[in-house]
Chain A
Amino acid sequence: MAKGGKPLFELVDCVFDLSYPGGAVNMALGRGEMGFLRRPPISFQLLGIDPLKSGEIRVRGNNWDSMSVTELEDTRMTISGIFDPITRLTGQWISNLDIDENVYLCPAFEANRRYSEIMSHADDLAKKFGLEKGLPKVRPIKARPEDLVRAQWVRAMLPTRVNVMLLENPLEFAPEESIESFIRELRKIRENGTAILWISRTTPPFERLGLKPDILWEDW
Chain B
Amino acid sequence: MTLGHVAGAVGRMGRYLFQGTFYLAAISTECVAFAVRPSSWVRPVRSRFVRQILFGGVEAVPFTLFAGGIMGIILTINSFQWLEFTGRSEYLGPALSVAIIREAAPFFACVIIISASASAITTELANMKVSGEIDLVESQGISLIKFLIMPRSIGLALSATGLAVVFVAAAFTASGIALLFVGRIAPGPFFTSIFQAISLADYVNLIGRSFIPGYLIGGICCYEGLRVAEHTTAVPQAVTRAMLRSVAVTLIVSAILAVLTYL
Listed in ascending order, the chain A residues whose CB lies under 8 Å from chain B are 43-44, 47, 49-50, 69, 72-81, 83, 88, 90-97, 101, 104-106, 108-109, 111, 115
Task: Find chain B residues with CB under 8 A from A95 CB.
Answer: 128, 131, 133
A9 smallest CB distance to B (angstroms): 15
The reply to whether A109 and B135 form a contact with Cβ atoms under 8 Å apart is no
Closest Cβ of chain A: how far from B27's Cβ, in Å?
A: 13
Pairwise interchain contact B43-A115, C-beta atoms closer than 8 A: yes
New A-B contacts (9) at CB < 8 Å, excluding given A78-B141, A81-B139, A109-B147: A76-B139, A76-B140, A83-B136, A91-B133, A94-B133, A106-B142, A108-B42, A108-B43, A115-B43
Known contacts A108-B44, A115-B43; A73 and B136 CB within 8 A of each other: no
Q: Is the Cβ of B141 less than 8 Å from the Cβ of A106?
A: yes
The verdict on A44 contacting B139 (CB below 8 Å), with A95-B133, A104-B44 known, is yes
CB contact between B141 and one of A76, A97, A111 (< 8 Å): that residue = A76
User: Which of A44, A72, A96, A101 meets B135, CB within 8 Å?
Assistant: A44
**Are the C-beta atoms of B141 and A92 separated by less than 8 Å?**
no
Docked Cα-Cα span, A79 to B138, in Å, equals 12
CA distance A145 to B253 in the complex (A): 49
Q: Across the interface, which residues of A come within 8 angstroms of B137, CB to CB? A: 94, 105
* A76 partner residues in chain B, CB cutoff 8 A: 138-141
Residues of B within 8 A of A (CB): 39, 42-44, 47, 124, 128, 131-133, 135-143, 146-147
CA of A101 to CA of B44, assembled, Å: 8
Secondary structure of the B contact surface, majority rule: helix
Q: Report the bound CA distance from A97 to B124 in whole Å.
A: 12
A73-B143, A81-B139 known; A90+B131 contact, CB < 8 A: yes
Q: Is A91 a contact partner of B135 (Cβ separation < 8 A)?
A: yes
What are 8 pairs between A and B in contact, CB < 8 Å? A43-B139, A69-B143, A79-B141, A88-B132, A91-B136, A95-B131, A95-B133, A97-B44
Query: How far is A88 from B132 in the complex, measured between Cα atoms in Å?
Result: 8
Which of A74, A79, A81, A90 counts the most B-chain CB atoms under 10 A from its CB? A90
Minimum distance in angstroms from B234 CB to a CB of chain A: 16
Partner of B128, one of A88, A94, A104, A105: A94
Q: Chain A residues near B142 (CB, 8 Å)?
A: 73, 105-106, 109
**Do A49 and B135 touch (CB < 8 A)?**
yes
Residues in B whose Cβ lies below 8 Å from that of A83 = 136
Residues of A within 8 A of B141 (CB): 72-79, 106, 109
Query: Contact at B135–A105, with CB atoms within 8 Å?
Result: no
